[in-house]
Structure 1
């Protein structure tokens, strides 16, 4: 579910970006006056004497965006009941980080605007735009592992829920009690249908639309209903009985194909999967590729002429939003991550390293969709409206740039995959405890003057980066050999252990280094199916002796722990721990010094 979500959100980022650019071009073109005129075009529904009308922008912001928040509600419901949010220790860190990432930006904004006409916009810099963040992480690529995406997705879910609560509590102008009572009755009717296990889509659609209208008339923003309805949608893990019935129906269709059997097989298979997951599959592409881009097109257009930009440069609203997103998000999320880790309130998915966490904190300052949403609720003055939007655009761009720089610096300085608290307080051993022997995987001559022992992990991006560096050194210096020992970081890289087992299976056929190179060339594709495909290419049986290969990997791990290995890659040059940077020039210089020594 998370992987599908990542792919859809990251892929939709380009569409969202195009919509944003189009809005800006439209608003700043010679026909810029038509931008506001178009989105203020009224559109309504009439039934007899009853008439319900909104302008196009409000149909987008109050109508289409309710579906967007409904999808968020579906995701929250799924993650709490079946996904990552079931584990309270995994929730604690991103939840506190999300709270810090809202409190600090709001505080920075109020420091600059308290008592002024823009004070009500303190909610603008609090929200993170999930689609843009995941799009930036897709560009970052191997520098951003899946656990960081999972951490930021959890943070974004908590962030969205808190933002909706803030909208409901602080951006509701007035309440209509009769409409509120009608909305409560309609919500109770939907909950009754759910309790009675009546799953007729037309009933839910009719009641849901009526609830949306009643909520809109009550004064509460209808997006709150969107996320509430999403949370109410039933979610469950497929039961053995439903899976068995689905399997039988498919088997019956396979043996005697017919339209009737096909319909029954389809029905049984669908029932095995919860309504929540089926709705996510259908609505997520519409939300990501249509609703959010249309929202950006309707709201991101702001005039960027000299007068507007000069006003924004001196506006506390613009600076409050920029600093809230750029500095507030980074500081708030970083502190909110450090505190629960420091006091043992929770753990990280995969024990991420701090360079990755800081990069994630920086890109979380990309606030767009919900930020623009709150601008529309917070300000009536068109001038302040424009200043806030310019702040959102500038702050989001700067946050994306800062995140990219942090990821790049962490990568270029030669990172090591290890948990933030992995290094023990005591001094680590300097010497390799188990010398190179005949059972090791060696590349190079037996009489080499320099032996480089690498403790590596096939899923570690830093190991993938150092792999061509060691090969280049070996090609330049024929009297250097490289020894690879397994040190899979199971909590950080869940596929590394399986990859190590398959590499050992290849070693049984004398093809360890061929498999070694294939695995590092395909680090992002290490599922069991991928590993079996690579094994087939080398005519290797991947799971022929799993117990024996696990024991062989365990020997390498034990020698690594005894030698003080705590992360990957860790290098030993002629039996001594290498402490320098993990780049070609630094390692080559260290190797050359050993070659020249007597």
Structure 2
């Protein structure tokens, strides 16, 4: 399987970004439970305009992260793993199972409780962390497995985005929503008219974001909409879509996501923190990610192959897919994002974030050990 230049760039930025993300998360938890705790927490609640710093990171800067996800998804659809239906069915099936089974497990633990709204928390996979773990195995892992994991995680993100738009919107101001969608319509017309000036799309995107922000629908959705409004053309390195995607990799991986990690992992561990593991939402998150993710990914992918809807690439086997299934349980960005939308109680939010980190740690260790034990050095070209 040929790895394109852009995929290599994406993989390498996510690989390094995963390490930065891990460091930022550890630093944030340490500071939150240190002598500097009060000052550190106050930093993220520092008022900027009508809101605090954390709000602008989550609703402003994260829109750029969603723009990158949208551009990457667009690339996958046009020229990547999702461009051929037969090949796309494998990661799509795995992603669907990896969203449905964890959600059902979470719902089973939380049905009828005030935390059942967190059903979307264990549905997403963090690309940066998952690829970061996979990269530690070097040439033991074929490129096809890395591409499968990337496509799987991108589809997961799309599922989380749809979930946010449909189920985590409480009050809608239709006039602002209509204006935002009208701007999106204008951008689509510009696309059809072959307008290629990126600045015009970015200005339109900002206007769309502003009205979406004041519509009740989460503003980060505009990042994905803008991505699909920007002309893809042939996807070459001369197109504005490629240039923007290539340019966004490092700012997102090394500035935006680290800021998100620092502000959203400011988790205070109480003296009785271990008691939180028995909470229904804690059980839903841990079982959903550690067990539900690999079970759903492997089962649905297996069924798709057995039904002859797709086939397993020659370099892969089911043991490798099981390993990736566990890595799929590494959740962070999207899961924390959904947590902030699903709950209002600060204690539940705080504890849920901690459970996401614990479940991700367990999933990452199991996935790494499993793949290391079940993979031999590959003669295929690998991305280092």
Using the size of structure 1 for normalisation, the TM-score is 0.61
* 2:12 alignment partner, one of 7, 23, 44: 7
Does structure 2 retain, via aligned residues, the 8 Å contact 1:125–1:367?
A: yes
Please state if 1:277 is matched with 2:252: no
Alignment check: 8 A CA contact 1:171 1:378 kept: yes
User: 1:238 offset after TM fit, Å?
Assistant: 6.9
Deviations 1:335-358 (A, max 9, x none): 011010111001234441122111
Deviations 1:28-75 (A, max 9, x none): 11221233322222212xxxxxxxx32111111111111001011111
Give the whole-Å Cα distance in 1 for the aligned partners of 2:316 and 2:297: 14
Answer whether contact 1:27 1:35 (CA < 8 A) is retained: yes
Q: In structure 1, what is the Cα distance between the partners aligned to 2:158 and 2:196?
A: 26
- C-alpha distance in structure 1 between counterparts of 2:199 and 2:89, whole Å: 39
Q: For residues 283-305 of structure 1, what are the alpha-carbon distances to aligned partners after superposition, in whole Å with 9 as ceiling and x for unaligned?
A: 11111111111100110111123
Which structure's residues are more often strand, by fraction? 1
Structure 1 counterpart of 2:355: 391
Q: Is the 8 A contact 1:104 1:331 kept in 2?
A: yes
2:279 alignment partner in structure 1: 315
Segments of 5+ residues of structure 2 without an aligned counterpart are 1-5
Q: Which residue of 2 aligns with 1:18?
A: 23
Matched, 1:298 2:295: no
Question: Is the 8 Å Cα contact of residues 194 and 231 (structure 2) preserved in structure 1?
Answer: no
For 2:77, which of 80, 84, 97 is the aligned residue? 80
Corresponding residue for 1:198? Answer: 195
**Unaligned 5+ residue runs, structure 1?**
45-52, 240-271, 416-460, 465-492, 496-522, 526-598
Secondary structure of residue in 1 paired with 2:234: coil
Cα distance in 2 between the residues matched to 1:27 and 1:126: 27
Q: Which residue of 2 aligns with 1:167?
A: 164
Displacement after TM superposition at 1:232 (Å)? 2.1
Task: Report deviation, 1:98.
Answer: 0.3
- Contact 2:138 2:383 (C-alpha < 8 Å) held by counterparts: no
Contact 1:315 1:387 in 2 (8 A): no
Contact 2:289–2:360 under 8 Å retained in 1: yes
Q: Which has the higher helix share?
A: 2
The answer to which structure, 1 or 2, has the higher relative contact order (CA under 8 A, 6+ apart) is: 2
1:131 CA displacement: 0.4
What CA distance in whole angstroms lies between the structure 1 residues aligned with 2:367 and 2:175?
Answer: 48
In structure 2, what is the equivalent of residue 375 of structure 1? 339
Q: CA RMSD in A?
A: 1.8
1:218 alignment partner, SS class: coil
- 1:410 aligned residue: 374
2:213 is the alignment partner of 1:208: no
Aligned in 2, Cα 1:84/1:291: closer, same or farther, shift over 3 Å? same
Residue 94 of structure 1, aligned match among 87, 91, 106:
91
After superposition, the C-alpha distances for 1:173-226 in whole angstroms (9 at most, x for unaligned) are 110011111112211222222222233333323221111010011011112111
Query: Does 2:41 align with 1:36?
Result: yes
Q: Distance in 1 between matches of 2:312 and 2:65?
A: 28
Give the superposition deviation at 1:124: 0.6
Distance 2:190 2:199 in 1: 12
Residues 549-578 of structure 1: CA deviation (Å, up to 9, x unaligned): xxxxxxxxxxxxxxxxxxxxxxxxxxxxxx
Tell me the distance in 1 between the aligned counterparts of 2:58 and 2:209: 13
- State whether structure 2 residue 65 is matched by structure 1 residue 103: no
C-alpha contact 1:39 1:298 (8 A) present in aligned 2: yes
Asked if the contact 1:82/1:236 (under 8 Å) is kept, the reply is no
Do the aligned residues in 1 keep the contact of 2:184 with 2:229 (CA within 8 Å)? no
- 1:346 is paired with a residue whose SS is coil
| Count of residue pairs brought into register by the alignment | 379
The structure with the larger Rg is 1
Say if 2:197 is the partner of 1:232: no
Aligned to 1:84, the other structure's residue is in SS state: coil
Report runs of 4+ in structure 1 exceeding 6 Å deviation. Answer: none
